[in-house]
Amino acid sequence: LEDTLLRELSNSKGNILDNEELIATLDETKTKAVYIQGQLEQSNFIKDDINKSRAVYTSTAKRGSILYFAMADLSQIMSIYETSLDSFLGVFNNALDSAKRDVVLENRLKHMIDSITRNVYDYTCTGIFERHKLMFSFQMTTMIMDAAGKIDRREIDFFLKGDTGLADAARPSPVEWVSASGWKDLLYSAELEEAFEAVLKHFEANLPAWKEWWDL
């Protein structure tokens, strides 16, 4: 259409208004331009509408992503625990299909997330050894809480590794029955949270009672 218009303009002689073919081409160009503009506006509207609808399910997709990587991390324990993305998607899609229906969107999303979590957990546990199921439960739970901002990463690292610093404890242990590493961990925990600091103070103020507990 553009080439035709340019050709008509270049070949036009005399008064342009007397060239009926050129006038018809201009009218056609204008009509199609308006049509195309309308189509573009409609496509942009549809695109925005699709993006809004898709954004509603972000929480569900996020939970699916967390669960997949929790499963994938099991391969670090044993190579036989490797899980393909296709297998996971099969479980994921089945969970969506079996999730309880609800006309209230928030309830529907909750049912979908619960269904995905339960189905992926059950599927994973059928393929791992019993001794690794608790580890997977812990990993999955902490990853979900971490993504929701409900967990202190420093506390989790301390729970798993203790005080990994190379320096010695700031002060010696008041008793011999607590190991050097245990005392160092206790001092470090007091720096993380007030509740842990209270444990340290209670320990130092009630050594006989803690010794009884230690000997149980």
The pLDDT tens digits along the chain (216 residues) read 566 656 666 666 656 566 666 677 777 777 887 888 888 888 877 777 777 877 889 999 999 999 999 999 999 999 999 989 999 999 999 999 999 999 998 999 999 999 999 999 999 999 999 999 999 999 999 999 999 999 998 999 999 899 988 888 989 999 999 999 999 999 999 999 899 999 999 999 999 999 999 998
Helix (H, G, I), strand (E, B) or coil at 104: coil
Tokens of 212: 């009884």
Degrees to nearest 5, angle at CA 41 with 37 and 47 = 140
State how far the Cα of 9 lies from the Cα of 136, in Å rounded to an integer: 74
Q: Which residue has the tokens 């050894």?
A: 129
Segment 91-127, tens digit of pLDDT: 999 999 999 999 998 999 999 999 999 999 999 999 9
Please list, residue by residue across 102-121, b when 16 or more beta carbons sit within 10 angstroms of its beta carbon and e when fewer do: eeeeeebbbbbbebbbebbb
Segment 36-45, tens digit of pLDDT: 888 888 887 7
Degrees to nearest 5, angle at CA 145 with 66 and 110 = 70
Q: Which residue has the tokens 């000997």?
A: 215
CA 53 to centroid of chain Cα atoms: 18
State how far the Cα of 66 lies from the Cα of 113, in Å rounded to an integer: 11
**Amino acid letter, residue 192:** L
What average pLDDT is seen over the chain? Answer: 88
Q: What's the whole-model pTM score?
A: 0.70
